[in-house]
Amino acid sequence: MAKSVSLHARTSRQHNVVTWRDYYEMTKPNVVMLLLLTALVGMCLATPSWVNATVLICGLLGIGMLSASAAVINHVVDHKISVNNALWFAGVLGVVGFVVLALFVNMLTAWLTLASLVGYAFIYTMYLKRATPQNIVIGGLAGAAPPLLGWTAVTGEIHAHALLLVLIIFTWTPQHFWALAIHREKDYAKAKVPMLPVTHGVSFTKTSVLLYTVLLGLVCLLPYLTGMSDLIYLIGSSVLNIGFLYYALKLKFDAEPQTAMKTFRFSIIHLMVLFVSPFSLTSHEGEVFDNSSLEGQWNLVFVGYTFCPDICPTTMAELNGIYPELKALNSVEPIRIVFVSVDPNRDSIERLSEYVSYFNEEFIAVTGEHKALFPFVRNLGMMYAIAESTDNPNYLVDHSASVVLVDPEARVIGRFKPKREPGKLSISDSQQILADMPKIISKQKNGNQNNFWTK
């Protein structure tokens, strides 16, 4: 639940002047962004290749606008602000969002998103919230829908894996809100909202938080047990759930004044990290290449495949040309070139080894299954797609041509985009990389390590 501002009080002070910022706050942007993150994960898990650009942009836009519309209606009901302009604003957001989904995505996603709006804005906000202490449990289904919406936006159908993602968020929701409700128990009591701490007491609510956290840990095992995710997910989700369980136990048996809010904040981190999982690939030497493999050195990462006829060999040759000068830079951490093959069907470990050795034996090549490759490449800010049938041995792979910079703490901090000139191959400018790297390293030394996006 995001912090909200009473527009009634604000407009009284400002002579009934409502600014664009007031409307923006009514949409609960932090909540909507978290919903869109889970919708994006649903989209990406629905396909082994990249998501169609129109579906990606219009899908997130439509889902976001309908979610914002529901938030505005919730704001109107809870804070009794002037309804005319606010409801017009909610109506415009809702109608435009629905039309965008219907015209540019598909009707299934449009209707499911609208159903989520009705579930949250009307069934939960206008009835359940003040009718039963189980309001969060029942109404949480609407808030758990975004992964399903993302999945249907890409596939046009409801799949069991998408419903599994919904189940995870549905099980996560009660303890997330109950932790906040414990912290604001007096506020809910004053407002006569029957949240669980008000109707059943804080102690009972703490027990419920603990039990639901245990249940969440069990539900989070299902993606691994059903073959939807791999061992890396299992390890990562287990660590997150142990952390959540620690806060739930502390809240129940050794609570301090801020423990409830700390539990609430960790629940947000838990969901964000759970839906952006660690990765595990295999290097050309047959070794595991994961998050820790990026740490301790600067990494210039390029995505491609060994059968690429133009961009890949040219970029690799350009990087090899500046590599001696990169190594000579005054940097505590070494600089490494990493080639990520997004064609595991043809790029075996042996072929990758031969390929990178041709350019430079110090270069690293990695690959893996598409279910590991695609999230990794997406987190780098790049995409790839196999548009042709792999039955044809000479199929081509579409992929980003940028070179991404990952710092010694495994953070993506820059992207060297390809130069686009008529009649010339679009590749990253190696001389630009060579010119910018000393500046970036210097910033890191001076403790000013901000994102450095090159043009």
Please name which of 365, 342, 187 lies closest in space to residue 284, comparing C-alpha atoms: 365
Contacts of 345 (CB under 8 A, 6+ apart): 390
The CA distance from 153 to 101, in Å, is 8
**Mean pLDDT over each residue of the chain, to the nearest integer:** 84
Q: What are phi and psi of 382, to 5 degrees?
A: -125, 170
Higher pLDDT, 19 or 294: 294
9: pLDDT confidence band, cut at 50, 70 and 90?
very low
Please tell me whether residues 307 and 335 are part of one structural domain.
yes
- For the chain, state the CA radius of gyration: 25
Asked whether 318 and 375 are in contact (CB, 8 A), the reply is: no
**For every residue of 9-35, which 3-state class applies, written as one string?**
HHHHHCCCCCCHHHHHHHCCHHHHHHH
Q: Which residue has the tokens 């499911």?
A: 112
Number of other CB atoms surrounding residue 141 within 10 Å: 18
Model pTM score: 0.57
- pLDDT value for 6: 41
Please name which of 273, 341, 352 lies closest in space to residue 303, comparing C-alpha atoms: 341
Please tell me whether residues 132 and 244 are part of one structural domain.
no
pLDDT tens for each residue of 109-145:
999 999 999 888 888 877 777 777 777 777 778 878 8
Give Cα 94 to chain centroid, integer Å: 23
Of the ranges 70-74, 225-229, 296-300, the best mean pLDDT one? 296-300
Please tell me whether residues 81 and 203 are part of one structural domain.
no
- pLDDT value for 337: 96
pLDDT tens for each residue of 48-96:
556 778 888 999 999 999 999 988 888 787 665 566 788 888 899 999 9
Higher pLDDT, 340 or 71: 340
The CATH number assigned to the domain holding 71 equals 1.10.357.140
As given in the structure block, the two tokens for residue 370 are: 């598409």
Q: In the predicted model, is pLDDT for residue 1 greater than 50?
A: no
The CA distance from 455 to 163, in Å, is 40
276: pLDDT confidence band, cut at 50, 70 and 90?
low
Please tell me whether residues 173 and 124 are part of one structural domain.
no
- Considering the domain boundaries, does residue 218 fall inside one? yes
Higher pLDDT, 316 or 233: 316
The CATH number assigned to the domain holding 296 equals 3.40.30.10
Percent with pLDDT over 70 in the chain: 89
Please tell me whether residues 291 and 439 are part of one structural domain.
yes
Domain range for 178 is: 159-278
